[in-house]
């Protein structure tokens, strides 16, 4: 998966998979510290593409 954040001008490349499972991500539309949050559709967690870690689990 390749991401780009227009808010902070950064791009990242991730392997969107877990053992024996392909994962699906989308853009949540929510900003977090000037970074776009990715929406993990399997777990419904929000991930910071810039920090490469979960940002929050609540919406």
* Predicted confidence band of residue 58 (pLDDT cuts 50, 70, 90): low
CA angle 40, 45, 50 (to 5 degrees): 75
pLDDT score, position 54: 82
Q: Among 57, 55, 59, which Cα is nearest to 5's?
A: 55
- pLDDT score at 52: 81
DSSP 52: T
Is the confidence at residue 44, as pLDDT, over 70? yes
Q: Is 32 helix (H, G, I), strand (E, B) or coil?
A: coil
Q: Which residues of 39-48 are buried (b: 16+ CB within 10 A; e: fewer)?
A: bbeeeeebbb
pLDDT, tens only, 12-42: 888 777 788 878 888 888 888 888 888 988 8
Instruction: Residue 16: count other Cβ atoms within 10 Å of its Cβ.
Output: 15
């Amino acid at each position: 998966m390749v991401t780009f954040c227009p808010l902070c001008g950064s791009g990242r490349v991730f392997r969107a998979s877990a053992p024996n499972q392909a994962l699906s991500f989308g853009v949540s539309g929510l900003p977090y510290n000037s970074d776009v949050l990715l929406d993990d559709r399997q777990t419904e967690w929000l991930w910071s593409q810039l920090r490469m870690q979960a940002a929050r689990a609540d919406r």
